[in-house]
Amino acid sequence: MKNVLKILAAATAVAMSGCLSKTAAMLASTDPVEQGHYTVLGSEVSGTDTQVMILFMTFGASGSGARRATEDALSQAPSADALVRVAVDTEEFYFPFNFIIAPVGIVKTRVTGTPIKINQN
């Protein structure tokens, strides 16, 4: 009977583990800009932020993962003020032992967009 319970617990843990990927948002820009009042600085850039999740609470730097991922993307184009044509995606991975010990996972946020310099007219 103990072996059956162990197998059942292991099967449940494996069934409840896995990966979830979703598009969190599609934005016109990260800052308010008017069409024609900015200069495109180059091709698409991408930034990421990763946090550990324990008991459905994220640990790592405080604040928004999307904001830190946006700052990471903007750091790839040093003179950029903002991003246009922005996509925010999240991936969540839950470890197989997550519901036996405690819900444990990793949340990765990725922001992708085209860097721009806002014209000061």
Domain segments of the chain as ranges: 2-118
Q: What is the pLDDT tens value at each position of the chain, 121 positions in all?
A: 778 777 776 666 666 666 667 777 888 888 888 888 999 998 999 999 998 887 767 776 677 888 999 999 999 998 999 999 999 999 888 776 545 566 678 889 999 999 999 988 6
The one-letter code for the residue type at 29 is S
pLDDT score at 30: 85
DSSP three-state, residue 12: helix
pLDDT score at 59: 72
pLDDT score at 16: 60
pTM of structure:
0.75
| Closest to 22 (Cα-Cα) out of 91, 87, 85, 99 | 91
pLDDT score at 18: 65
pLDDT score at 35: 84
Between CA 46 and CA 102 the distance in angstroms is 32
